[in-house]
Amino acid sequence: MSDASAERRPHYLNVNYGLKSWLLTTDHKRIAWLYLIGVTFFFFVGGLFATLIRLELLTPQGDLVQAETYNKLFTMHGVTMIFFFLIPSIPAVLGNFLIPIMIGARDLAFPRLNLASWYIYILGGLFTLSAAAAGGVDTGWTFYTPYSSIYSNTHVALTVVGIFITGFSSILTGLNFIVTIHTMRAPGMTWFRMPLFVWAHYATSIIFILGTPVIAITLALVALERLFHLGIFNPEVGGDPLLFQHLFWFYSHPAVYIMILPGMGVISELITCFSRKRIFGYDFVAFSSLAIAVLGFLVWGHHMFVSGQSVYASMIFSLLSMLVAIPSAVKVFNWTATLYKGSISFDAPMLYALGFIGLFTIGGLTGLFLATLGVDIHVHDTYFVIAHFHYIMVGSAVMAYLGGIHFWWPKMTGRKYSERLARLAAVIIFLGFNLTFFPQFVLGYLGMPRRYHVYPPEFQVLNVLSSAGASILAVGYVLPLIYLVWSLRYGAIAGMNPWRARGLEWQTDSPPPTNNFDVTPIVVCDAYAYESAEPEIIYPPGRPADV
Amino acid sequence: MSTLGFPLFPEQASTMAGRIDALFFFLVLVSLFFASLICILIIIFAIKYRRRNDDERPPAIPGNLRLEIVWTTIPLALTMVMFVWGAKLYFVINAPPNDALEITVVAKQWMWKVQHPEGQSEIDELHIPAGRPIKLMMTSQDVIHDFFVPAFRVKKDVLPGRYTTVWFEATKPGSYQLFCSQYCGTQHSGMIGHIIVMAPAEFAGWLGGGATTESMAGAGEKLFQRLGCITCHQPNDSGRGPSLVGVFGKSVALQGGRTATADETYIRESILNPQAKIVAGFQPIMPTFKGLISEDGITQILAYLKSLKREQRVQEKP
């Protein structure tokens, strides 16, 4: 069909209007937009905290903010970015929008539960923001006891209640994805024809369901100990402060994979599309996601090598942490091999994808330093750790998120953004990111501890470099906000498949109709069959979509 | 390094520093190799296979089992080398030599309190001799802290309610930074200090200098009498409580058939929460000393109990 007729056809955006039609929608595509607004808001709130942290660290003295304020800033930065941006970002926005379309379904299995998840997320976010407004919390996002449960006199209970509530949003989203993927695949969409994006979300959903209840219980125990002085973690009344660390990391390490697995799924889609090739080693990439999800539950003790836990426990956790590195390495090799003899173009999403591979490789390799027992002793709790996990969380997860947003933006909105500005932003983000975080590896090995408001003067030059990088990074993050919003009204009409990509989402209109496909499609070939000119779906004659 | 005007690599000032750095450089080499390999391949592919016309449709390459096996097993083997090498160092770091000089450290928000066996105490400073293994027996009065000396490449959490140890052997005299590296509240970044490493003779002078101080064990003995411990814990098993002579480090039979090792954490618990573990054959009559004794006091009692050797008891018997 022509672009003009696509614009006139009813789709999920123009089917009805008004605030109520959005706030009470059960359409997974509209709920994805609600999440997009939520996570974007929290991203910039978290970014504001980060800006103030980097400004304070320009000088070794504590001259911009007081120690108490600084401690609240890094706590609120971590809490906001992890629980309210990174965890929901790709699954709740892109996953929500794409999973049903990618498998040829009309919606998620439980559309109303999906909407409820968003309200729960926002409710939790408001609790946590109200804690920030009431004066903040200063425990670090890790809430280590007995500091959090006894000694801190900030708003710990309010904050953890917010995180507790938001956890249910993750659990319900995970449940929804698992049921949808099991029961709602279109005819012909076998498990091994599913896009790797869907596999990655399947693995992520397993972690959502198995891990999130543990953090909810753990944080509830912290709140109970604060409010009712139970002796769970407080050693003065017989509690064990290390028990908290075990419980906390039992969730929070897998949570790292919640944040990165969906990103890996995005990268598999981008690399194949922009090199016009099948993914190299589909089975290995798919199963490595599951391997990461399973092994990820068995490595939490590597956060406790200097905590005084048994040396034998540390040894097992070190060994298992080495093993969890392997599936990640397998993915990187397969993505690289996918480029081989491809037809590679450098559209903005591909720049993000290539940047991701480089930064994820550095982030993953430096993870090995932390898994290695002898070396971790020195770099534990220093800026080396900060640099490592920002390479994974920002360099990889945020790059993948932005790459995905750019890639599917024409599908979500029906419009194209300025390709030139988008490429510029991708390059700025890549450069700014490296300037911000690479010096922190050096700082960490020098011994600069994390969460230091005041630091020895010999560390200043590297900190200034880092802050300079952060200002470049900030420009890179604001740019897409501007040109993407601009494109909503002024962007060129995208058409059904502007990237000439394979995948069911590109076989329906942009923006898609409310039911995603007019008729339930029948899938007739593998994912990523870029070598083929054959259609990947056929429509049964005369069968309406909603049989 | 210094030509830049700021450091890029930390000083090596302990026997472990060079060994940890060697493993670190091995990891850096492996990382450089793989990061460069991936980057170079991506750049080569991106240039060589760039899209030349918009209708290109390259043939599919679904995968290659042999390659998958190669790039699974080689990284696996390399990570196993890292694991074994790292674990070996970790065991050394966690096994203090028997002849180590034992010094007590009590951490609190936001200071380090040090007590030497000879009785000298220091705040935010630790004087030690070079060339001699030092073992720190550490506990916290409040939240979790962490004892971190970058130049020694050592770090260990300091927990409330239990004792952790760390050991190191400084190699050259000088002053080295001590950081608290476990976030502990408002003045966390102010919980810093210095390790002052002296030549052995100089250190002996430092220990002997100043006002005459009482040894830790001596202070502990006084405390043992002042708090009335001695009335029940008599040396010859004639009291209402078990004799504590020679008990340190031994296995103790408890009521209910269990046993416990009489280490620092056990003795601390028995002072503060005596009902938690009752020695077999004795009544649970000991009151708690919580609030009556400080963490420093407990470490003095510990030093005293460690000084009570079994031989002494034999001599006292007649």
Q: pLDDT tens, B120-159?
A: 889 999 999 999 999 999 999 999 999 999 999 999 999 9
Cα separation, B220 vs B217, whole angstroms: 5
Whether the pLDDT of residue A4 is over 70: the answer is: no
Q: Is A214 inside any structural domain?
A: yes
Going from N- to C-terminal start, the domains of chain B cover: 2-49+62-93, 101-208, 216-316
Give the DSSP H or E segment for B103: strand B101-108
Q: Is A51 inside any structural domain?
A: yes
Which residues in chain A touch residue B148, judged by CB atoms under 8 angstroms apart? 381, 447, 449
Whether the pLDDT of residue A514 is over 90: the answer is: yes
Q: Is A233 inside any structural domain?
A: yes
Chain mean pLDDT for chain B? 90
Q: Provide the pLDDT for residue A545.
A: 46
Q: Note whether B34 contacts A146, CB cutoff 8 Å.
A: no
Report the greatest alpha carbon distance in chain B. Answer: 104
Average pLDDT of span A213-226: 94
Cα separation, A52 vs A471, whole angstroms: 11
Which residues in chain A touch residue B18, judged by CB atoms under 8 angstroms apart? none
Q: Is A446 inside any structural domain?
A: yes
Q: Select from B12, B14, B37, B51 the residue whose CB has the most chain A CBs within 10 Å, as the one to mutate to test that interface.
A: B51
How close is the nearest chain A Cα to the Cα of B211, in Å?
Answer: 33
CATH superfamily of B216-316: Cytochrome c-like domain (1.10.760.10)
Q: Provide the pLDDT for residue B257.
A: 86
Q: Note whether A354 contacts B45, CB cutoff 8 Å.
A: no
A–B interface: beta-carbon pairs under 8 A: 289
Fold match, B2-49+62-93 / B216-316: no
Banded model confidence at residue B19, pLDDT cuts 50, 70, 90: very high
Q: Three-class SS string for B104-163? A: EEEEECCEEEEECCCCCEEECEEEEECCCCEEEEEEECCCCEEEEEHHHCEEEEECECCC
Q: Select from A303, A375, A379 the residue whose CB has the most chain B CBs within 10 Å, as the one to mutate to test that interface.
A: A375
> ipTM of the assembly?
0.93
Quote the strand ranges of A309-465, DSSP E.
none
Of B58, B142, B154, the CB nearest to A151: B142
Q: Provide the pLDDT for residue A218.
A: 95
Please name which of A51, A121, A28, A46 lies closest in space to residue A472, comparing C-alpha atoms. Answer: A51
pLDDT tens digit sequence for A415-445: 999 999 999 999 999 999 999 999 999 999 9
Which residues in chain B touch residue A445, judged by CB atoms under 8 angstroms apart? 9-10, 24
Q: Note whether A67 contacts B39, CB cutoff 8 Å.
A: no
Which residues in chain A touch residue B90, judged by CB atoms under 8 angstroms apart? 305, 311, 314-315, 318, 373-374, 377
| Domain boundaries B2-49+62-93, corresponding CATH code | 1.10.287
Q: Model pTM?
A: 0.92
How close is the nearest chain A Cα to the Cα of B205, in Å?
Answer: 31
Complete edge-to-edge strand list for the sheet that includes strand B174-180? B125-129, B193-198, B174-180, B145-149, B154-158
Name residues whose C-beta falls within 8 Å of residue B49's C-beta, 6 or more positions apart in sequence: A275, A339, A340, A341, A342, A343, A344, B58
Alpha-carbon A410 to chain mean position? 21
Judge residue B92's burial from the number of C-beta atoms within 10 Å of its C-beta, 0-12 exposed, 13-18 middle, 19 or more buried: middle
Q: Provide the pLDDT for residue B210.
A: 64
Q: Provide the pLDDT for residue B4.
A: 75
**CATH label of the domain that carries residue A332:** 1.20.210.10
Residue of B nearest to A377 (CA): B155
How close is the nearest chain B Cα to the Cα of A160, in Å?
Answer: 18
Q: Note whether B75 contacts A152, CB cutoff 8 Å.
A: no
Average pLDDT of span B88-101: 95
Q: Note whether B144 contacts A146, CB cutoff 8 Å.
A: yes
Residues B216/B300, Cβ–Cβ less than 8 Å: yes
pLDDT tens digit sequence for B183-213: 999 999 999 999 999 999 999 989 887 666 7
Of B35, B58, B80, the CB nearest to A277: B58
Whether the pLDDT of residue A540 is over 90: the answer is: no
Residue of A nearest to B156 (CA): A306
The third-level CATH classification (topology) of the domain covering B101-208 is Immunoglobulin-like (2.60.40)
Of B31, B68, B189, the CB nearest to A454: B189
Of A242, A278, A446, the CB nearest to B62: A278
Of A341, A375, A449, the CB nearest to B49: A341
Please tell me whether the peptide bond between A511 and the residue prior to it is cis, using omega within 30 degrees of 0. Answer: yes
Q: Note whether B38 contacts A361, CB cutoff 8 Å.
A: yes
Q: What is the dihedral of CA A252, A258, A263, A265, to 10 degrees?
A: 150
How close is the nearest chain B Cα to the Cα of A225, in Å?
Answer: 15
Q: Among positive and negative, which fits the CA dihedral A172, A173, A177, A180?
A: positive
Residue type, A205: S
Q: Is A5 inside any structural domain?
A: no
Of A152, A362, A381, the CB nearest to B35: A362
Query: Quick check: helix, strand or coil at residue A107?
Result: coil
Q: Provide the pLDDT for residue B3.
A: 65
Residues B105/B112, Cβ–Cβ less than 8 Å: yes
- Structural domain of A378: 24-538
A325-341 burial, b for 16+ CB within 10 Å, e for fewer? bbbbbbbbbbbbbbbbb
Phi, psi of B194 (to 5 degrees): -135, 140
Residue type, A495: G
Q: Among positive and negative, which fits the CA dihedral A228, A232, A234, A236?
A: positive
Alpha-carbon B304 to chain mean position? 22
Whether the pLDDT of residue B230 is over 90: the answer is: no
Number of domains present in the structure of chain A: 1
Q: Is A90 inside any structural domain?
A: yes
Q: Is A18 inside any structural domain?
A: no
